[in-house]
Every structure is written in structure tokens, then in C-alpha cells.
Amino acid sequence: MKSAAEYLEAPVFYLTYPTGEEAENVPVVAYDEAVRAIESALADAAEYKYFLLRALRRQATPEAEIAPATEATVRPLFPTDDNQELAA
């Protein structure tokens, strides 16, 4: 997996004041280069997601996929206006 800096193929500049002095070492990248880097990272993330889901499907046991449905009663935590006896 790549690091965030590896997606940037463009030169990185440092922000400077008009006097030529560096301003707080803030790296600056062109907007188009940043968009390309983000699109590349998202494409890699989709590929990693595909590989991960495929591996999980292969590791799934048949018993886990066919788990019996259990019915449970659902009761509200707080009484409603119609049913004040639920508080007990």
C-alpha cells in the first residue's frame, strides 16, 4: 500500500512570503496534481476493497452463512404515551 506522499508525482513547493522567507514550512501542490493524486488513491482503495472482500468470501464458512434466524421481542426503552405500563 502506498503512502500519501507516493501518490503525488508533481513537485512540492513551499509557501513563501513576498520577501522570500518561507512561511511555516507549508507544502503547496497544484490543484490539478492534488486531484490526480486523490483519484489515484481512490482507485487503489477500490481495488484493495475488492481484494479484501474476495478474501473474506473465500474464508467464510457455510455454517456462518446459513445461521438460523432467531426471533426476539423488541420493547421500547422508554414508555410511550399510549403504553405507560412499559416502564415496569
Over the stretch 44-70, which tens digit does the pLDDT of each residue have? 888 888 888 888 888 876 655 555 667
Q: pTM of the full predicted structure?
A: 0.46
Q: How high does pLDDT run on average in the chain?
A: 75
Give Cα separations from 11 to 8, 15, 33, 43 (angstroms): 8, 13, 9, 22
C-alpha cell at 2: 502506498
Number of H helices, E strands in the chain: 2, 2
Closest CA relative to residue 14, chosen from 26, 24, 5: 26
pLDDT at 20 over 80: no
